[in-house]
Amino acid sequence: MSRQSADRLLSIGLMAAGLLSGVLLLFIVLFISMESWPVLHHTSLSTLLTSTDWRPSMGGFGLLAILVGSLSVSFLALLLAAPLGLATAFYLSVYAPPKIAAFGQKLIEVMAGIPSVVFGLWGLVTLVPIMVHLSPPGTSLLTAGIVLAIMIAPTLTVFSLLAIKSVPMATVQSGRALGLGRGTILRTIILPQARPGIVTGILLALARALGETMAVMMVAGNVVHIPTSLLDPVRTLTANIALEMGYALEAHRAALFMSGLLVMLITLVIVMAAGFKSDGTDKAP
């Protein structure tokens, strides 16, 4: 085989792989949309999005309370995880001695890879009994937020570390040569350049929080209502699917696919926002 034809084969193969992933995503969105369509014969889209009445057996398909549940759990998790994750990244990249930094980074990478159900079980058997003392039943928006925060903080740290490492060494060293302190270097040299990458990390961590299912289902309480306190139970869109999909038929099943479609659309918006942000980094001078 000539070198040229080998090259062409490789190029065709790679293009096929690329197309495959794109087409798969398209198929998934199409499939979910088709499966969720029948619910619109039973309720209008506006009722679906503005009603809190989720009683599928009685024809109540309001997703608002569950949508609010998903968003509140995810943003609470982000609020808790962002300071922790960012502080860890700053420490490991700027302050930590090299050996600790290398070890810490490996640790964080391992943590980012722990399956979510493990966090869920830990939350249910360890964290919930502690939260019970605060206010029974211990499964609540706050508990779910804490478990999720612990899950997404490593993701956030990994992305922030990547962004910080992409800052050219030369600029950092120039700073040092000028006698700047580490805090000043972090604030005035590293952060401004790494910001788009860090924001991307934050958005992707948020997307992960929104999509998380098992861990949240185990500790959130899953009662359908709009939470009025941190200690109220909440149900998320993903937990809704996991709890009821096995038992749902017809319109109920379609309504659950609609839950999935909502998660997917929100996640897509977030990931697109993240992509937009990281484009900014590439083009930065």
Partner 1 sequence: MVSSYRSIVSPKTLAKFGAAFALAAAILYGFIPESGHGEQNRILLTGSSTIAPLAAELARAYEKAHPGTRIDVETGGSSRGISDIRRGLADIGMVSRALKPTESDLVSHLVARDGVALIVHKTNPVDGLTSDQTSALYTRKIANWSAFGGPDQKVVLVHKAQGRSTLEIFLKYFGLSDDDIRPDVVIGDNEQGIKTVAANPSAIGYVSIGTAETAIEHGNAIKLLHLDGIAASTAHVADGRFPMTRALNFVTKDTSSPKAADFIAYAQSDSADALIRSLAFVPPKR
Give the residue from 216, 234, 59, 60 showing the smallest Cα distance to 150. Answer: 216
Q: What is the CA radius of gyration of the chain?
A: 23
Amino acid at 243: L
Residue 30 Cβ vs partner 1, minimum distance, rounded to whole Å:
13
- What is the dihedral sign for C-alpha 56, 61, 62, 67? positive
Judged by CB under 8 A, the residue of 107, 162, 180, 242 near partner 1 is 242
Q: Which is nearer to partner 1, 88 or 140 (CB)?
A: 140
Binding mask 250-269 for partner 1 (x = CB under 8 A): --x-----------------
| Contact positions with partner 1 (CB under 8 A) in 67-106 | none
**Can you read off the two tokens belonging to residue 121?**
């079980």
Q: Which is nearer to partner 1, 164 or 239 (CB)?
A: 239
Give the residue from 101, 280, 74 showing the smallest Cα distance to 195. Answer: 280
Give the residue from 52, 69, 60 showing the smallest Cα distance to 232. Answer: 69
Q: Are 214 and 242 contacting, i.e. CB atoms less than 8 angstroms apart?
A: yes
Residue 259 Cβ vs partner 1, minimum distance, rounded to whole Å:
13
Beta bridge partners of 60: 55
Residue 4 Cβ vs partner 1, minimum distance, rounded to whole Å:
12
Amino acid at 155: T
For 2, phi then psi, to 5°, come to -70, 160
Torsion of CA 224, 226, 229, 232, to 10 degrees: 0
Question: Does 13 engage in binding with partner 1 (CB under 8 A)?
Answer: yes
Question: Does 58 engage in binding with partner 1 (CB under 8 A)?
Answer: yes
Residue 266 Cβ vs partner 1, minimum distance, rounded to whole Å:
23
Q: Determine the interface stretch with partner 1 among 29-37, 65-73, 236-244, 264-272 (rule: CB under 8 A).
A: 236-244
Q: Which is nearer to partner 1, 132 or 178 (CB)?
A: 132
Binding mask 18-57 for partner 1 (x = CB under 8 A): -xx--xx--x---------------------------xxx
Question: Does 218 engage in binding with partner 1 (CB under 8 A)?
Answer: yes
Beta bridge partners of 61: 54
For 81, phi then psi, to 5°, come to -80, -35
User: What residues make contact with partner 1 under the rule CB under 8 A?
Assistant: 8, 11-13, 15-17, 19-20, 23-24, 27, 55-58, 121, 124-125, 128-129, 132, 136-139, 217-218, 221-224, 233, 235, 242-249, 252
